[in-house]
Structure 1
């Protein structure tokens, strides 16, 4: 472990860690949050949904924070990207849901946030589909709003992939499938950032060890995951973890970085985000 991280670990002040209560985050960070990673610094955990986490990062409120890759261009002046702990993958993209509608011309669409990967993918996919309006709605309220007819379509993420049929909704598009067809790359969803003054390499190693501990003994984190899973059924929780926690959670690797760079370059070309001014690695 580096001298800077060792000094932090000896310090009585915990690092602040802000993540979502979703099973992929609680599974990945269980060991770190409970002091089970040898020599890693103590952390104090705050839970919030992704739109709130993006705002917390913009305000520099946390030492370590989960954000959407769609927010990265606004955050890299203050934060560095860790190579572990995030969510990338295949077959795990956002869905565009409707109550039977087969196109979006003139549609009102509910989305979970504007500085999200889901939003960027939706805007790239829907550029010529005639959407009338887009509103930000808390993600847990999107499916009920579409079901009740208050919106014509909804953009959903996370566990909604598994539960939307119970609302009588259908998937008009899987934006993860669309992205993979366009690029042959995994879809970059959530990133883990650390303040630039911290030792990013050492923190990446600590987070990687936490993820590895979860893989080694999934039962150890089960109670913690279920306690924060917003009453998801255990089989949905297991499916969620298997989908979002994978080899990219251990290390982004060249393919992971290529996916991030491609998404943000295409979004910048479409004037959806600023071009990166800080290197990713």
Structure 2
């Protein structure tokens, strides 16, 4: 990597118990140099030391309310100064989680919250949320893990940081089933339940949107081609605008009832359409492996 390439620095923070350590470990696995609970007062000297070296290994720096000298307003001020430099590419990742889920996690593990000070876990959680609000507002990327399992958070971090180059817009196109919950990290959600459902055709039920018979069925469904073209044109127009505004990550999700037919085919085809226009999206199918269940599909066909 040439010395003219900006040094990548990711500041990783968030609510205690939300998944900061998990995110840092995945970044380290992806080749980032990761440092956790780093003293904020040493951040500028560390940056200068890294820039003095011959390599530009991406650097992830983790900190939270337990970090020595933790002052959210001071951290934001330092981050603002660093983002003005041409030799740095600085982003801030905030790992969040709702209070009730954080309380459940603390009660389940019997760990003490670092800000509880002898009180209940929820008291500590509320105090920390107030303390971290300036950082949450400042962060470039907010990851809400309230409904994410650890492996789902790991997958999300891998998708967005494994191959992303400086200035590149990281795009995820996914499929999901509404019957199994909305994707908590999606920026744009398109509901494909207006299409005829292949689930109700016995010869298609056990197949998925990756199979040719399902693809052929949906291509001939009234309204698909026209709607697909409009969504494609909208995305081709929006994505460069997001990038121009400094947005680094966009998650586009297509949903249907069970997440196995309509949404899967649409996501696959949309990803291909975006590739043909110069983008490089990652594709994931959240519920592709789920069992085709009549009870799920009957909730809303």
User: How would you bin the TM-score normalised by the shorter chain?
Assistant: under 0.3
Using structure 2 for the length normalisation, give the TM-score.
Answer: 0.24
Using structure 1 for the length normalisation, give the TM-score.
Answer: 0.25
**Larger RCO: 1 or 2 (CA < 8 Å, sep 6+):** 1
| Structure exhibiting the larger radius of gyration computed from Cα positions | 2
